[in-house]
Structure 1
Amino acid sequence: MAYNTGTGSPYQQQTPRRPPVNAGRLWAGGVATAVVAAAVGIVGLFVTRGIFDIPVWLPDGQHRVVDATAAEVAVWGAFAALVATALMHLLLVTTPSPRQFFTWIVMLATLIAVLWPFTTGMSLASKIAGAAIAGVMGVAIGMLLNSVAASATRPNLPPV
């Protein structure tokens, strides 16, 4: 049986210190993730429109590979990655198990993005293609930012 030696409450336990967040490293990785997410959207449109001839996110009867919607998809992907980076930063400095919470939040947000095309009036092929693009984009954001967060919270080791 352990007795209180007068050095503090027996109910107080030392909580391990959270490793500091290297914000510069986290945000540099977030910007790189934004570039990847934008590229995933553009490549997804090139594949679906250019190779499979599926008019995803185009008005009926139009078949273009590149148009303004390609830029919109890229911008929304980059925006989602930057918002996810901000979320990761917030979780890293405020919550226990931040990467686990982040993974769940990104999975649920990705699920919403995957289901969204099915609420539109697009053809079934366009809905499936849009869902696939959103899904790959969400998975890329989640995986990359989890790796970036691990790197940005690594304790500094003394030089050898």
Structure 2
Amino acid sequence: MYPNDPRDPRTRAYEQQPQHDPYGQDQYGQAQYGKDSYAGDRYAADNYYDDRAYDDRRRAADPYPAPAAERSRSRAPKAPRRGPRVNAGLFAGGVLATAVVTALAAWLAAWIIRVISQRITETGKFGVWNPVAQDEYWFAVVGVLCAILAGALWYVLHMTTPSPDSFFAGIVGLLIAAAVLLPLLLSQEWTSAIGTAVMHLVIGLPIFFLIRAMGAKSLEY
């Protein structure tokens, strides 16, 4: 044994030699200031300044940034509207076609009733018949107006109710029944009551079936 052997841990020379500490300190508790000791610090500092530059650019682009919750909501995709959408142009064309069909049906029915009543009146056996109190063109105009109103009703029901066809059938069906029964119950002349009831039925049936069909054909899924 040599008393000054630096390799022997029991000698004073060994205690005076600084030992390497893998954690950056020597045996005296002092930090190792090597050339690579600042590598981690320089990397952190570079990242810090890069983040600062990115934040500055982002604030310059948007001086009034929205809160995080609002940004997340704005970036989220909007949920599509559920259910089919009505093609307004196609539906309007279908309503106009229904109005034309209703007007022609009303005009033809009124003309047929008037011709039959005139033939019966000419015979003189059954008295004077006047079942149609109005002109044929008046019923045609009424048919057009009723068809347009029914189309508007179906469109409003589709935009505001979950089952537009069911509500439309109920409303229009009740109106047709009332239009047919009221002349029969309130009119004093039975010929006029029958003629008016028939005309109301002729106007109501095309509207009841065609408007619903036009609405179903105008839906886009």
User: Under a length normalisation based on structure 2, what TM-score does the superposition of the two structures give?
Assistant: 0.55
- Other-structure match for 2:131: 56
Q: Does 1:106 align with 2:181?
A: no
Rg (Cα) greater in structure = 2
Cross-structure match for 1:120? 187
The code of the aligned residue for 1:100 comes to: S
Please name the residue that 1:30 is paired with.
95
- 1:120 counterpart letter in structure 2: S
Q: How many residues in Structure 1 have an aligned counterpart in Structure 2? A: 131
2:207 paired with 1:141: yes
Which runs of at least 4 in structure 1 moved beyond 4 Å after TM superposition? none
Q: CA deviation at 1:120?
A: 3.4
> Contact 1:48 / 1:55 at 8 angstroms: preserved in 2?
no
The answer as to 2:112 corresponding to 1:47 is: yes
- Look up the match of 2:137: 71
Shift of 1:38: 1.0
Amino acid at match of 1:69: D
Structure 1: how far apart are the matches of 2:146 and 2:197? 15
Q: Note the C-alpha offset of 1:52.
A: 4.3
Q: How does 1:11-26 map to 2 (within 5 A)?
A: 17-26=82-91
Q: Do the aligned partners of 1:110 and 1:138 also contact (CA within 8 Å) in 2? A: yes
Q: Deviations over 1:89-146 (max 9, x none)?
A: 101111111011001111011112112323234x212211221121122111010011
Distance 1:126 1:44 in 2: 14
Structure ranking higher on relative contact order (CA contacts 8 Å, 6+ apart): 1
Structure 1: 5+ residue stretches without partners: 1-15, 59-67, 156-160
Identity %: 35
For the pair 1:81 / 2:179, whether they are aligned, the reply is: no
Instruction: Report Cα offsets for 1:60-93 as digits up to 9, x if no partner.
Output: xxxxxxxx62222111111000000000110111
In the TM superposition, 1:89-100 aligns within 5 A as: 89-100=155-166
Q: Kindly report the root-mean-square deviation, in angstroms, between the aligned alpha carbons of the 2 structures.
A: 1.9
Q: In structure 2, the residue corresponding to 1:71 is in which secondary structure?
A: helix
